[in-house]
Amino acid sequence: MNPHHLFLEKTTLLSVTPNSLKIMELSILNYDALCEDDDDDDSTVEEILSHKLDQLGEESDIDEDRLARQMMKMMKKHAGAVSKILIERSKISESISWLARHVPFCLLKDLLHDVEEGLPIALPYATYRRCALLFVDISGFTKLSQIMSVENLSKVKPIHCRTACLSVEK
Amino acid sequence: MIIEKVMVHGGDVLKFAGDSIFAEWAINEHGLVTIEECTAVAALCAASIAECCRDFPIFGGEKTAGFLNVHCSLGVGDVAAVHIGDDRLRREFLLLGDPIDQISVLEKDVKIREVAASPEAVVLLTKMFNIDTSVCTGVEKVAIIMDQSGRRFKPRLDVQLPMPLPNETAGKDRKEILSMICESLDVSQLKHLLQLISLYVHPVVAKDESVVSNFLKLNSSAQERMQAEAELRDVYTMFIMPLISSELKREDELNQALFQRLNNILLITNRELENYGGHLRQFIVDDKGVVLLATFGLRGATFPNMISCHCLPCTTALHNALQVELGIDCQIGATFGRAYCGVVGGISRHEYAVLGPCVNLSARLMCSSCNPGILVDNSVRLRAKTEFTFNSLQPVKAKGYVNPVPIFEPISAAEKRWGKPIRDFVGRKEQLNYIFRWAKHIAYSKDEKKSKMLYIQAESGFGKSALISQALLEVRKKIFQKKKRVIITRNISNDGDRMIPFR
């Protein structure tokens, strides 16, 4: 089997995003040199990848044959560890992606800033800005909720949210 | 559709508050450079929502059960986005400032199908629109910029209207943006980010996310997951309104004191809810003021004797804790009933919520002018009448309810069954003598600093309660005969109290 295909199958199986795939390709490009230099080093695969990722943005030309050889080599040696990292990243990213739908984007940006800064922030803390604020209130819901049973209300939710307001939309 | 409209207009949906939402247009977001542009786009979005959602029919079976309508209020100004809570239980994100206060005023006057703008917003809107000033009402010149007849504002010919970049977080793009964000972080940063986000979302959602298998996550669509999480449950809903002002001041010190106060309210609420096993759904500052919404009965928070041993004790404990520890009075409305529990909103932006008649009633009870501190409905009373006594109050007319609603004030733990000595108590002489000697030692000991504890342990049904009741009765009698002035206090713990007596 072509090592490139092997790699693609692996990444598809793990549901790695296109950008993750790119990162892996770039990591592998430098793997030969890395192995020659660090064969006796105790560095973990995480550390090796992390170290190399810092330099990878500068890489521009990709030699496919070389890439295939390097991928094969890497898969043989560290397939288990690389898979573990990718699976872990994938799981966490999926969870963040899902939970992030429950918070406003401005909050997400604040949190991202906190994480990048890496310093614990004492609560409470506030940021100030100017904005226009819109309050949209749906009238008649209380009256309807009293007339209709909860079961019926939950049945009509998909209809009313698709065109009007509250719930699941296509 | 409302979510979609907001996102298409470049807005950020901040909060879902029952059957309403808050959306924000901030400067330097989505191509909007000035506050005039933000206000103009928000007004256009409001008008678009009001037009699309006018007289929307709701079908109950084959027939039309009724119609939904919307009304919108637009405020503008400086806001403080405040993060409160802790790193263990829960955090919340609050928006405070002039726009909230303006909306609170507008909400008193705005009618269905209308869009109202605050005087501050009107000043900014006139730079881009010609507004029909005849619709401005009152001394404050609150403008109804859209009513039943349509829009009352038209773009000025000499000004080009802003074209916001559609919110880049809308629809499919949001996932891609998040993926890019995630890939720029290492694993430890990702874990930290996940932990932080989890603190801001509903506990049920955070718990579900941690236990749902990766296979299910990868093999089900967002819509399927949303539908799978939705259910109908019997829920105890508690609306809590601390009676404090949330108005921002000019002095930063005063604002910091306000933020600290709000933080303390959240910490105490979290603590009491953790003690009794409840969930905090939301902490919000809206047109009603500062409001917290807590529930019992959702996944992970359902117990035997839930109302009497968890919900009502938690309600009274929280009321007392806010009063004693922070000096804050509060009004609480609590109800029990079947409610929809699940996400509300669109695929790309939603929140976990509890919706139903009982939830609406709970909010009404909280705001009721005759609320003495805690008000509950008849469902709560019926489920806790053996353990609590209730003071029946005059039924009230609640907005949205045809008939007056019976309301009750829980006044104390009744302790009706527990603690009553049995008239024909026999036996246990040895144990009674031991307890009396032990009590006598405490009562007559000269060394006041010494305290003693007595543990009584036995299988359920062996008569521990009867023994203690009888012992207390005899101790009281004998000490009274000796004419010694002794105060005997007692506390009866509920199943849900956990470690409270020893804290």
The C-alpha atoms of residue A160 and residue B162 are separated, in whole angstroms, by: 31
pLDDT at B77 over 50: yes
Q: In which band, very low, low, confident or very high, does the pLDDT at B56 lie, cut at 50, 70 and 90?
A: confident
CATH fourth-level superfamily of B2-167: Nucleotide cyclase, GGDEF domain (3.30.70.1230)
CATH assignment of B232-413? 3.30.70.1230
DSSP string, B160-225: PPP-PPPPTTSHHHHHHHHHHHHHTS-HHHHHHHHHHHHHHS-HHHHHHHHHS-HHHHHHS-HHHH
The answer for residues whose C-beta is within 8 angstroms of residue A84's C-beta and 6 or more apart is: none
Q: Do B187 and A46 touch (CB under 8 A)?
A: yes
Domain co-membership, A138 together with A98: no
pLDDT tens-digit series, residues B239-281? 999 999 998 988 889 999 999 999 999 999 999 999 999 999 9
pLDDT at B333 over 70: yes
For residue A111, report the phi and psi dihedrals to the nearest 5 degrees.
Answer: -65, -40
> Which of the two residues, A4 and B376, has the higher pLDDT score?
B376
Domain co-membership, A76 together with A156: no
The C-alpha atoms of residue B40 and residue B48 are separated, in whole angstroms, by: 12
For residue B268, report the phi and psi dihedrals to the nearest 5 degrees.
Answer: -65, -40
pLDDT at B170 over 60: no
CB–CB of B267/B260 below 8 Å? no
Q: Do B187 and A88 touch (CB under 8 A)?
A: yes
Task: Using a pLDDT cut of 70, give the percent of chain B over it.
Answer: 85
* pLDDT at res. B28: 76
Asked if the C-beta of B128 comes within 8 angstroms of chain A's C-beta atoms, the answer is no
User: Counting Cβ atoms within 10 Å, is residue B311 exposed (0-12), middle (13-18) or buried (19+)?
Assistant: buried
Does the residue A119 lie in any domain?
no
pLDDT tens-digit series, residues B91-111? 999 999 999 999 988 888 888
* pLDDT at res. B331: 96
Domain co-membership, A24 together with A78: yes
> Which of the two residues, B400 and B278, has the higher pLDDT score?
B278
* pLDDT at res. B99: 94
In A, minimum Cα distance to B56 occurs at A164
Q: In which band, very low, low, confident or very high, does the pLDDT at A83 lie, cut at 50, 70 and 90?
A: confident
Give B364→chain A minimum CA distance, Å: 10
> Which of the two residues, B271 and A155, has the higher pLDDT score?
B271
Q: Do B223 and A170 touch (CB under 8 A)?
A: yes
- B374-376 and B330-345 as β-strands: parallel, antiparallel, unpaired? parallel
Contacts with B343 from chain A: Cβ below 8 Å: 102, 167-168
Torsion of CA A7, A13, A17, A18, to 10 degrees: 40
What ranges in B289-377 are assigned the alpha helix state H? 306, 312-326, 357-367
pLDDT at A19 over 60: no
Domain co-membership, A70 together with A154: no
- What helix, strand, coil percent values describe chain B, rounded to 5? 40, 30, 30
Tell the residue number behind the tokens 């994938």, with chain if given. A90
Does the residue A152 lie in any domain?
yes
3-class SS at B104?
helix
Asked if the C-beta of B90 comes within 8 angstroms of chain A's C-beta atoms, the answer is no
Q: Of A60, A82, A102, at which residue does a domain stop?
A: A102
Does the residue A113 lie in any domain?
no
Query: Can you tell me the mean pLDDT for B171-186?
Result: 70
CB–CB of B359/B237 below 8 Å? yes
Q: In which band, very low, low, confident or very high, does the pLDDT at A158 lie, cut at 50, 70 and 90?
A: very low
Give A76→chain B minimum CA distance, Å: 23
Q: Among A45, A52, A135, A148, pick the best mutation site for testing chain B contact (most B Cβ within 10 A).
A: A135
In A, minimum Cα distance to B193 occurs at A115
Q: In which band, very low, low, confident or very high, does the pLDDT at B61 lie, cut at 50, 70 and 90?
A: low
Average pLDDT of chain A to the nearest whole number: 64
Q: In which band, very low, low, confident or very high, does the pLDDT at A169 lie, cut at 50, 70 and 90?
A: very low
Query: Can you tell me the mean pLDDT for A43-51?
Result: 62
3-class SS at B488?
coil
* pLDDT at res. B218: 66
Average pLDDT of chain B to the nearest whole number: 83
Q: Do A140 and B218 touch (CB under 8 A)?
A: no
Does the residue A126 lie in any domain?
no
Nearest beta carbon to residue A130 from set B77, B202, B351: B77
Domain co-membership, A42 together with A90: yes
pLDDT at B37 over 50: yes
Every domain range in chain B assigned CATH 3.30.70.1230:
2-167, 232-413
Contacts with A20 from chain B: Cβ below 8 Å: 183
Nearest beta carbon to residue B20 from set A103, A135, A167: A135
pLDDT at A60 over 70: no
Q: Do B357 and A150 touch (CB under 8 A)?
A: yes
Write out residues 146-165 of B within 8 Å (CB-CB) of A.
none
Asked if the C-beta of B250 comes within 8 angstroms of chain A's C-beta atoms, the answer is no
Structural domain of residue A139, as residue ranges? 134-170
Residue B408's DSSP bridge partners are B376, B392
Instruction: Calculate the alpha carbon distances from B115 to A156, B30, B44, B49 in Å.
Output: 26, 23, 10, 10
Number of compact structural domains in chain A: 2
3-class SS at B295?
strand
pLDDT tens-digit series, residues B347-392? 888 899 998 888 989 998 999 888 999 999 999 999 998 888 898 8
pLDDT at A18 over 50: no
Q: In which band, very low, low, confident or very high, does the pLDDT at A12 lie, cut at 50, 70 and 90?
A: very low
Domain co-membership, A93 together with A159: no
* pLDDT at res. A35: 47
> Which of the two residues, B30 and B434, has the higher pLDDT score?
B434
Does the residue A128 lie in any domain?
no
pLDDT tens-digit series, residues B444-501? 776 665 677 888 888 878 888 888 888 888 887 777 777 777 777 777 665 555 544 4
Query: Can you tell me the mean pLDDT for B109-126?
Result: 87
- The model's pTM is 0.74
Q: In which band, very low, low, confident or very high, does the pLDDT at A15 lie, cut at 50, 70 and 90?
A: very low
Instruction: Calculate the alpha carbon distances from B355 to A146, B212, B227 in Å.
Output: 12, 24, 15
Of B342, B344, B360, B353, the C-alpha closest to B3 is B344
Domain co-membership, A13 together with A96: yes
CB atoms within 10 A of CB B160: 9
* pLDDT at res. B235: 96
Phi-psi region of A148 (alpha: psi -120 to 50; beta: other; left: phi over 0): beta
Question: Among B19-28, B148-157, B287-296, B415-424, which is the least confidently predicted range?
Answer: B415-424
pLDDT tens-digit series, residues A98-151? 899 899 988 988 888 888 888 778 889 999 999 999 999 887 766 666 666 655
Asked if the C-beta of B226 comes within 8 angstroms of chain A's C-beta atoms, the answer is yes
ipTM score assigned to the predicted complex? 0.79
Domain co-membership, A90 together with A8: yes
The C-alpha atoms of residue A134 and residue A33 are separated, in whole angstroms, by: 57
Nearest beta carbon to residue B193 from set A102, A112, A128: A112
In B, minimum Cα distance to A161 occurs at B1
Domain co-membership, A93 together with A12: yes
Domain co-membership, A10 together with A58: yes
CB–CB of B290/B241 below 8 Å? yes
Q: How far is CA B287 from the centre of its chain?
A: 14
Does the residue A121 lie in any domain?
no
Of B233, B259, B386, B236, the C-alpha closest to B315 is B236
pLDDT at B315 over 90: yes
